[in-house]
Amino acid sequence: MPQSEQSNYDFNSGAVFGSLAYDFTHPEFYTEFTMDEPIAQAPPEVEERVEPKAQTAARPVARPLPKAVVATVGCFAVVGVLLCILLNYHIQLAGISDNSANLQEEIGKLKTQQDMLLITYESAFNLAEIEEYAIGTLGMQKPRNDQIFYIDNSSPDLAVVLTPEEGGGGFMDSFGDLISSLGEYFGK
């Protein structure tokens, strides 16, 4: 619109109070439209009597959780279980460490006791005291040079397996050998 027309136009002259929608139940208001058929009248509106009902608190409708929330809760549950397992293993490790420390302490005590027993054992078997006891109390004496004999064991070992023909006449010879050896033993 040009500037001059806008100033001549009265903004309040076309004010509308209500609705600008056509109301076809009253065709007399609209003379610019002609219809071939008359518009049927709407039946009169009957007011229904609505009794007020006691209002109850509306229950909230449960909405399904989004997949991301379910996955997040699942991940937190898995992390919680893994943390519980880790805590359990740390508790077991602490118990094993305590047990190991106790065993190390016991090993130290046992080594000290072993050293004390070894000292006692070595002092009980003093060779000088044993020699003095043997000579003085038991009457023993040191061997002379003519009493010492050395055995030469440089020849190889030899074993002969006898067959029954070489050994003699069998059972009777063995029985005779037994009787002779018994006679030699008791004859002394």
| Between 159 and 137, the higher pLDDT residue | 137
What domain range includes position 126? 67-142
Q: How far apart are CA 57 and CA 59, in angstroms?
A: 6
Place of tokens 């609705």: 19
Q: What is the DSSP letter of 158?
A: -
* Backbone CA torsion sign across 128, 131, 135, 138: positive
Over residues 77-111, the pLDDT tens digits come to: 999 999 999 999 999 999 999 999 999 999 999 99
Per-residue confidence (pLDDT) for residue 145, from 0 to 100: 86
Per-residue confidence (pLDDT) for residue 137, from 0 to 100: 92
Residue 110 located in a structural domain: yes
| Between 2 and 42, the higher pLDDT residue | 42
Residue 105 located in a structural domain: yes
% of residues, the chain, pLDDT over 70: 65
Q: What share of the chain is helix, strand, coil (3-state, %, to 5)?
A: 55, 0, 45
Q: How many domains does the chain have?
A: 1
Over residues 35-49, the pLDDT tens digits come to: 555 556 666 666 676
Residue 100 located in a structural domain: yes
* Full-model pTM: 0.31
Residue 137 located in a structural domain: yes
Residue 174 located in a structural domain: no
Over residues 110-122, the pLDDT tens digits come to: 999 999 999 888 8
